[in-house]
Structure 1
Amino acid sequence: MALAAALGARLFVDPRLSPSGKVACATCHDPARAHGPPNGLAVQLAGGDLRHPGLRAVPSIRYLQAVPAFTEHFFESEEEADESVDNGASGGLTWDGRVDRGKEQARIPLLSDFEMANTSPAMVVSEALAAGYGPDIDAAGGGGAAADPDRAFATILDALAIYEQDWRTFYPYTSKYDAWLAGKATLSGAEERGLKLFEAEDKGNCASCHFSTPGLDGTPPQFTDYGMIALGLPMNPEIPANADPAWHDLGLCGPLRTDLSDVSAYCGLFRTPTLRNVATRRVFFHNGVLHDLREAVAFYATRDTDPGRWYPTLPDGTVVKFNDLPPRYMGNVNMDPPFGGRPGGQPALSDAEIDDVVAFLGTLTDGWSEPPPQR
């Protein structure tokens, strides 16, 4: 395991595993940004010529260690361990939950034409051997692994998956909130107010999907329920694919996932990500439509009371809500609080309350340390 983890750590940052020689896993999953995107682009440009745009915003790959395998019926209750509650479609390691294991996830960018752009597993192996990884592949995968393309590719995938299970790097739980839970930190007034708003069912109601309390077994909160949800986001014109009016990213029912394409109730649903390290991001939601954390919180609070702020308006004054979904799927959009309300009505959160929630979200960033005492 140690040999495989060491190999995975080197492969993760090595752009020589791409035909361009310029794209590594770390190119999009920047360690300095909590293994999320390194910039504010809605989608990254990569591929063989570094000009191929992706279809979705790059997610962080931290805190994936507890994500369950995808299921259409996830039975769990965070409150009383009542496993009679069906939370619906949940789990999986991607925005649409189409793979369950780290090695399956690692395969996707290696072979995607708009990511690392290898045309086959054999091509990945050839690049790894040309970069001098043959002895490391033999050491991690067993004697002769480097000479067998199938074994070599499997070893590369395993190595990346094992490296991404290193808790010090990918799930350290070193945020101020973790320290506060352990009684080793004090929240500021704004952070404490933000936490209360985050958890209050009649205010932010964020904790209904982004669980904020430790598990019954004492495990730290993951700030996600792993569920699938349709938020009714505005269409993002920054994604080149959206220039085609017939194209839609429907998440769980396609286009990148194909096994559930005929389940209309799943169209527009994407997996709820963890909010850990959310304050380090410069792009939000699966389509990267927002670039500011405060705006992301404000969207939840005012999507329905001030729709003109988020969606296009026709010449006759009609606001085209949920314009990233075909009309037949708009009924899938979540209406639970803080969503709901009528245009012009009172939003779930005031401007000051939005500021407080943002302050709380800042406590979820890894690497917190107690400030030195003032002299």
Structure 2
Amino acid sequence: MNHPSDAVMRPTLPAGGEPGPVITRRARLRLLAWSAAGLVLALGAASAYALVHPERMPPAVGEIVEEITGANPHPVALMRPQNAPLSAVAVLGKQIFFDPSLSASGKQSCASCHSPQHSYAPDNAFPIQLGGEHLSQAGYRPPPSLAYLYRQAPFSIGPDQGDTDVPVDMTQLASQAAGMQRAQKTALASPAAPAMVPQGGLFWDGRADTLQIQALGPLTNPVEMANASEEDVAHKLLQTKYVEQFKQIFGPSIVSNPSLLISEAMFAVGRYQIEDQSFHAFTSKYDYWLEGKARLTHAELHGLQLFNDKDKANCAGCHLSQPSRDGLPPVFTDTQYEALGVPRNPAIPANKDAKYFDMGVCGPFRDDLAQQTQYCGMFLTPTLRNVAERKVFFHNGVYHDLKQVMDFYNLRNTSPGKIYPKDASGKVQKYNDLPPQYHANVDEADAPFDRKFGDKPAMTDQDIQDIIAFMKTLSDGYKD
């Protein structure tokens, strides 16, 4: 009698095709246990055939080959933004971006909170930054990274376009270059508007539609660069050493029109962010793996699989990992909004007021959607590119490393006592950073949040370590 592990795995032959090699289940286990050198010798012609003709291989063989080599068997051509010298407008925008004289304190520039050395995010682990005239005013949210915003659409509320995407068969993930384009999401809004999804925009609440508008916000924010008015900004621009460049680019009359001066200055900052490749470098190990130029480790490959698995980590449900159909590299966000129910951060001074709540899309920093209460508690999904380089996470900076972040996703519903504080009576204060009447907005349907109290978490500790290993491959500047 044949042992079950000796069962032969035979591929279905394509019409007119030639058969691939036959590998038994027992042989597969042995192959995975041997050393790399032994594996190569044992696979022999099968491995070579798989690398040349991956489309003809049964899934099991494709998985073995990838586990051995760590290579992407189906490389793609990524369409990166053109790398060219900055235009005169972008050069002007760069000077504005790094100029602290434009702040009320004279010590704070755009780069103060968006450091080029830290993926255009803060260079410290503070949950909020200090600003104002004397750099003593506390902010309300951690500044998000300015990297990878060049494809961000204006804010809108409408049908989830991703719902029409065809999900990828997870058993074929390793041989399909990037896994799921998008996992199914089922809890995007309250039942009052189940098909309407907030998406696009800049800042955590999407209140700015363009980089130009976004650039002006901090200049007049009293807890940031703290200019009293746009006229104050215009006056400071006229005192800069680069004012002559405004005249050369926009004409001499620009200096006598304050509103136009500000508009063109912010346009220049936006052009700098679009044209300078450092804002969207696409030089991570994952990018090179997609192109067949780098190899992922076993842990990184397993982390990628879990990242895309809609029944496990389900990260790809919001952080899309697959290149677009026209070859644009993934930016690891669907640019939509989610209410995740992260715990309140007592380190934010505003949170000392028990009645204060930051509810994202419906306030307090935008008021146009205050009545759309089905969106209260929703915040923009950020890119995960360079996520391993960040020092604070989520809209309130409550966590400081990726292990804490993954534990939140894994344990929020199964062991909430490990995530949230308890009140005087010992009751866990779940979703304590959102008023109770909006708790229904929090996603409890999508994995890994689809588990109940006491259930086994979606991920093991080893799973989490592997997912983090994969996320580290998203950091720019990879060198083999």
Q: Which of the five TM-score ranges fits, normalised by the shorter chain?
A: over 0.9
Name the counterpart of 1:61: 146
Q: Does 1:330 align with 2:439?
A: yes
Shift of 1:63: 0.5
Hey, what's the Cα distance between the residues in 1 that align with 2:439 and 2:429? 11
Name the counterpart of 1:253: 362
Q: Does 1:149 align with 2:235?
A: no
Q: Secondary structure at the match of 1:297?
A: helix
Hey, what's the Cα distance between the residues in 1 that align with 2:243 and 2:322? 46
Shift of 1:266: 0.8
Name the counterpart of 1:365: 475
Name the counterpart of 1:348: 458
Name the counterpart of 2:428: 319
Shift of 1:75: 4.2
Cα-to-partner distance string for 1:322-345 (whole Å, 9 max, x where unaligned): 000000000000111111323332
Name the counterpart of 1:8: 93
Aligned partner of 2:469: which letter?
A: A
Name the counterpart of 2:171: none
Aligned partner of 1:293: which letter?
A: L
Aligned partner of 1:365: which letter?
A: S
Aligned partner of 1:5: which letter?
A: A
Q: Please point out which of 274, 284, 299 is paired with 2:408.
A: 299
Could you tell me whether the CA contact under 8 Å between 1:135 and 1:146 is conserved in 2? no
Q: What TM-score results when the alignment is normalised by the length of structure 1?
A: 0.95
Hey, what's the Cα distance between the residues in 1 that align with 2:136 and 2:90? 31
Q: Which has the larger radius of gyration?
A: 2
Hey, what's the Cα distance between the residues in 1 that align with 2:281 and 2:251? 30
Could you tell me whether the CA contact under 8 Å between 1:7 and 1:159 is conserved in 2? yes
Q: Does 1:280 align with 2:365?
A: no
Q: Secondary structure at the match of 1:88?
A: strand
Hey, what's the Cα distance between the residues in 1 that align with 2:214 and 2:120? 15
Shift of 1:169: 1.5
Hey, what's the Cα distance between the residues in 2 that align with 1:167 and 1:213? 24
Hey, what's the Cα distance between the residues in 1 that align with 2:351 and 2:248? 46
Aligned partner of 2:450: which letter?
A: G
Could you tell me whether the CA contact under 8 Å between 1:197 and 1:205 is conserved in 2? yes
Hey, what's the Cα distance between the residues in 2 that align with 1:233 and 1:101? 28
Shift of 1:143: 2.5
Deviating above 3 A after TM superposition, structure 1's stretches of 4 or more consecutive aligned residues are none
Hey, what's the Cα distance between the residues in 2 that align with 1:137 and 1:153? 11
Shift of 1:34: 0.1
Shift of 1:109: 0.4
Could you tell me whether the CA contact under 8 Å between 1:65 and 1:165 is conserved in 2? yes
Aligned partner of 1:112: which letter?
A: N
Cα-to-partner distance string for 1:260-280 (whole Å, 9 max, x where unaligned): 001110100011111001011
Name the counterpart of 1:27: 112
Paired residues, what number? Answer: 368
Shift of 1:141: 2.3
Q: Secondary structure at the match of 1:222?
A: coil
Q: What value does the CA root-mean-square deviation take over the aligned residues?
A: 1.6
Could you tell me whether the CA contact under 8 Å between 1:55 and 1:241 is conserved in 2? yes
Q: Secondary structure at the match of 2:384?
A: coil
Shift of 1:315: 3.8
Cα-to-partner distance string for 1:275-318 (whole Å, 9 max, x where unaligned): 00101100000000001111111211111112111111124331
Shift of 1:202: 1.2
Shift of 1:29: 0.4
Written as runs of structure 1 = structure 2, the 5 A alignment for 1:110-259 is 110-259=219-368
Shift of 1:37: 1.2
Hey, what's the Cα distance between the residues in 1 that align with 2:448 and 2:454? 15
Could you tell me whether the CA contact under 8 Å between 1:74 and 1:90 is conserved in 2? no
Q: Please point out which of 79, 104, 120 is paired with 2:165.
A: 79
Percent sequence identity over aligned pairs: 44
Q: Unmatched 5+ residue regions in structure 2? A: 1-85, 167-180, 183-193
Cα-to-partner distance string for 1:13-48 (whole Å, 9 max, x where unaligned): 110110111110000001111001110000001111
Hey, what's the Cα distance between the residues in 2 that align with 1:214 and 1:167? 21
Shift of 1:167: 4.6
Name the counterpart of 2:126: 41
Moved more, 199-208 or 125-134: 125-134
Hey, what's the Cα distance between the residues in 1 that align with 2:232 and 2:112? 20
Hey, what's the Cα distance between the residues in 1 that align with 2:421 and 2:120? 33
Could you tell me whether the CA contact under 8 Å between 1:140 and 1:155 is conserved in 2? no
Hey, what's the Cα distance between the residues in 2 that align with 1:173 and 1:66? 13
Q: Secondary structure at the match of 2:216?
A: helix
Cα-to-partner distance string for 1:141-163 (whole Å, 9 max, x where unaligned): 22321232122111111111110
Q: Secondary structure at the match of 1:164?
A: helix
Q: What TM-score results when the alignment is normalised by the length of structure 2?
A: 0.75
Aligned partner of 1:227: which letter?
A: Q
Moved more, 176-185 or 150-159: 150-159
Shift of 1:74: 4.1
Name the counterpart of 2:81: none
